Amino acid sequence: MTLPPQVTEVSLVLGGEAGQGLQTIGTVLARTAQAAGLHVLVTHEFMSRIRGGSNSTAVRIGASPMRAATDRMDVCVLLDADALPRLRGRVGEQTLLVGDPALFAKVAGLVPLALGALSEQVGGGLYTGSIVCGFLVRLLGWPLAVLETALERVFSESQSLVKNLAAARLGWEAGAEHHGRLELAMGTPRPESLLLDGSQCVALGALAGGCTFVSSYPMSPATGVLIHLARQAGAHGVVVEQAEDEISAVNMALGAWYAGGRALVTTSGGGFDLMAEGLSL
């Protein structure tokens, strides 16, 4: 096979339903890119519902800082039947569609990855994500070791780590025919580099701005901000309150401001709608 010229960045998109581990896959791939000495940006897209829905995770990796998401998809991994109809508008002529032929037998040009059969070899669908990561690392022309480094950081429990390492190897071996098909040169690892998620950045900004009170009724994706601030509450003198509902949360913050505090409320779209009556106070 004649390989295409080496690229300087790639956009990997994974589509599936809630509960299929898309966010974990994004974390593992981000850690893998970090171990490979590259820059990475991960964005999650999910429907406003408690369960189900067609969601996606996009991982943009390159030699220079990734400062924004992109609609381009170099690789699209399909984890459920609804993923392709939802993401089809972003599929370009050069996009590699990867999926289980048992689900996508009629998809033209599909790069087959027998996720169902492979996952059964290591204990079931729980390990599908690591298989996908192994396959993608092989597409990029990287050694398995960089992925293993990432998995060791993400999975601390020994039995889970062993199975995920085995699953990653299965995926990496399954991609042997496609090794380097989307080759991206590795960089020099930077031990001092930080890998932060958006919730951590907002929490750090709040602390830097002198936040002394945070109230919240948990709602994705803002719950992460509450969690990070709670972890730092003792060290920075922040009062943290999980309210019984959104109206209580916004009114607690208003009370804190009136009392001389510097308050923050974390929420999402639906929660903000319920807080509207507090905005005029």
The reply to whether 39 and 139 lie within a common domain is yes
- The tally of domains found in the chain comes to 2
pLDDT in tens, 214-239: 999 998 778 999 999 999 999 999 99
Share of the chain above pLDDT 90, in %: 82
Residue 193, domain member (yes or no): no
Residue where a domain stops, chosen among 178, 210, 228: 178
Mean pLDDT over the full length of the chain: 92
Give the pLDDT band (50/70/90) at residue 2.
very low
The reply to whether 103 and 242 lie within a common domain is no
Residue 139, domain member (yes or no): yes
Residue 39: predicted pLDDT: 96
Instruction: Give yes or no for residue 90 having a pLDDT over 90.
Output: yes
- Sequence-distant (≥ 6) Cβ neighbours of residue 4 within 8 angstroms: 181, 182, 183
Residue 3, domain member (yes or no): no
Q: Which domain holds residue 138?
A: 9-178
The reply to whether 162 and 26 lie within a common domain is yes
**Residues 41, 67 contacting (CB under 8 angstroms):** yes
Which CATH number belongs to the domain containing residue 79 in this structure?
Answer: 3.40.920.10
pLDDT in tens, 4-38: 556 899 999 999 988 889 999 999 999 999 999 99
**Residues 15, 77 contacting (CB under 8 angstroms):** yes
The reply to whether 36 and 117 lie within a common domain is yes
pLDDT in tens, 157-168: 888 999 999 999
Residue 180: predicted pLDDT: 94
Which CATH number belongs to the domain containing residue 244 in this structure?
Answer: 3.40.50.970
Instruction: Give yes or no for residue 77 having a pLDDT over 60.
Output: yes
The reply to whether 173 and 206 lie within a common domain is no
- Sequence-distant (≥ 6) Cβ neighbours of residue 181 within 8 angstroms: 1, 3, 4, 96, 139
167-186: average pLDDT: 97
Concatenate the DSSP letters of all residues of 24-84 into one string: HHHHHHHHHHHHTT-EEEEEEE--SSSS--EEEEEEEEESS---S--S--SEEEE-STTHH
Residue where a domain stops, chosen among 130, 147, 178: 178
